Amino acid sequence: MKSKNKERVIVTGGAGFIGTQLAISLARDYQIVVIDDLSLAMDSNVKQLLNHGIEIKKQSLQSTLSSKPFKNCSTVFHLAGKSNVKESMLKPQDYFENNVHVTMNLLESMRKQDVKKIVFTSSSVVYGETKKTVNEQSLTKPISIYGVTKLLCESLIESYCNIYGFKGVILRLANIIGENSTKGLIHDMMLKFKKNPKQIIILGDGKQVKSYLHVNDCVTAIITGHNNMKKQKSNIEVFNVSGKDFLDVNTIVKTIGETLGYDSFKSIYQKYDESGRGWSGDIIQSKMNISKLEKLDWKPMSSINSIKSIVREINTN
């Protein structure tokens, strides 16, 4: 049952993989309005949201919003957008429209309705190809269209914070994994092992190194960043969000196989180019320093334990 005493917040993309878990977690303390066009939403996500008494407004952000969703709203958690690196390289215009244009429309809608707090989920891909561990002040040089659109969204939000007095939090997320994810390395490998556990095709040379974070840890990171808003001195704060450990693809595939009970399989490598990447825009190494967020008492599960936990969950269900 909705409480009139609860602060009202909006979650865009709130019927998605991360958005659903975030909305449900926030619903303990806030009145939630999910804005989502539902084009990619799983029925189970919608059902979960409704079961928790969360209002869902089916709405595209391709145009500015009416005043109704923003009535008595204090904060917008902005998760809506497209997030497939490989697809972005084939459909750059589509990604500009669904990420940059959508964010601009949202910010304008917020400005007109005097809602000036925004929490935005960006991505680790804004850093591009890095040899060293990066912090929030490191150079951003994306190598994919998806990364470019995320960085443009960050710039728009920072501009609204500096020009119009908004307060913002930007979270640069690593690879987020979970039972209900419908894409990514874990999802793809699970399908490959199910199809043929004796021979696994790996995109790239298997040496790509990245961090993988459980969706539950991701949600607590987003909420931690939001809760820190009251204390932050600047108009905008940026946080890296990842696990503390970093794994190469070969280790991940081996871990998935062993967790599923497949100890012996042959790996077949399909490299996009001589660098060993798996596709155009694939980052060979991504390591983020998360000490800034850890100082706010946020502690993630290790990547390897997150992967094992999710594989067991999927295999059981």
Percent of the chain at pLDDT exceeding 90:
80
Mean pLDDT of 196-215: 94
Residues 6+ apart with CB under 8 A from 111: 160, 164, 166
The DSSP-derived string for 65-81 is: PPSGGGTTEEEEEE--S
> Residue 63 pLDDT > 90, yes or no?
no
> Considering the chain, what is the average pLDDT of its residues?
93
The helix/strand/coil state of 214 is: strand
The helix/strand/coil state of 284 is: coil
Of 131, 141, 126, give the one whose Cα is nearest residue 173: 126
Could you tell me the pLDDT band of residue 181, with boundaries at 50, 70 and 90? confident
Q: What are phi and psi of 241, to 5 degrees?
A: -130, 110
Give, as one character, the DSSP assignment of residue 101. Answer: I
Of 233, 240, 224, 242, give the one whose Cα is nearest residue 298: 224
Residue-wise pLDDT for 92-131, tens only, equals: 999 999 999 999 999 999 999 999 999 999 999 999 998 8
Could you tell me the pLDDT band of residue 57, with boundaries at 50, 70 and 90? very high
Could you tell me the pLDDT band of residue 42, with boundaries at 50, 70 and 90? confident
> Residue 303 pLDDT > 90, yes or no?
no
CA angle 303, 43, 55 (to 5 degrees): 95
- Residue 300: predicted pLDDT: 94
As beta bridge partners, residue 247 has 210
Q: What are phi and psi of 73, to 5 degrees?
A: -85, 140
Residue-wise pLDDT for 278-300, tens only, equals: 999 999 999 999 999 999 999 99
- Residue 1: predicted pLDDT: 41
Residues 6+ apart with CB under 8 A from 112: 64, 67
Least trusted range by pLDDT, from 1-15, 110-124, 133-147: 1-15
Specify the DSSP element, H or E, that contains 298: none
> Residue 26 pLDDT > 90, yes or no?
yes
CATH code: domain 7-176+214-241 is 3.40.50.720
Domain borders along the chain are 7-176+214-241, 179-211+244-287+302-316
Please report the beta strands in the chain, taking only residues with DSSP state E, as ranges in sequence order. Answer: 7-12, 30-36, 55-58, 73-78, 117-123, 167-173, 175-177, 199-203, 209-210, 212-214, 236-241, 247-248, 266-270
Of 149, 35, 168, give the one whose Cα is nearest residue 101: 149
Could you tell me the pLDDT band of residue 3, with boundaries at 50, 70 and 90? low
- Residue 62: predicted pLDDT: 86
Do the two domains 7-176+214-241 and 179-211+244-287+302-316 of this chain adopt the same fold?
no
As beta bridge partners, residue 56 has 34
Residue-wise pLDDT for 71-97, tens only, equals: 889 999 999 999 999 999 999 999 999
In contact, 200 and 138? CB cutoff 8 Å: no
CATH code: domain 179-211+244-287+302-316 is 3.90.25.10
> Residue 4 pLDDT > 70, yes or no?
no
Residue given tokens 């993989």 in the structure block: 17
Residue-wise pLDDT for 219-267, tens only, equals: 999 999 999 999 998 999 999 999 988 999 999 999 999 999 998 899 9
Residue given tokens 């303390």 in the structure block: 29
> Residue 5 pLDDT > 90, yes or no?
no
Mean pLDDT of 52-78: 90
> Residue 214 pLDDT > 90, yes or no?
yes
The helix/strand/coil state of 303 is: helix
- Compute the distance between CA of residue 103 and CA of residue 114 in angstroms, rounded to an integer: 16
